[in-house]
Amino acid sequence: MTCKIIAFEFVVPTAMATTLAVMLSIVAVYLTDKYLGPIEQAEAHGLPSAEGSVDQ
């Protein structure tokens, strides 16, 4: 009986929280790529050559 209580109180919520965190991170990456577009390599590394190429 004690093992079932430990499983329901600790293992199950931890597994659900981990699953939710992974799903949210995947959705966040998907939405970022879909609506903001991919990040250019020059922007990601902060190269000085990317500063002058901003479209207006």
What pLDDT sits at residue 24? Answer: 98
User: Alpha-carbon distance 21 to 27, whole Å?
Assistant: 10
pLDDT digits (tens, 9 = 90+) for 27-50: 999 998 888 876 666 666 665 655
pLDDT at 19 over 80: yes
Q: 50 with 42: CB under 8 angstroms?
A: yes
Q: Supply 49's token pair.
A: 């050559």
Quote the pLDDT of residue 45.
Answer: 65
Mean pLDDT, the chain, whole residue set: 79
Choose among 42, 45, 44: nearest CA to 53.
42
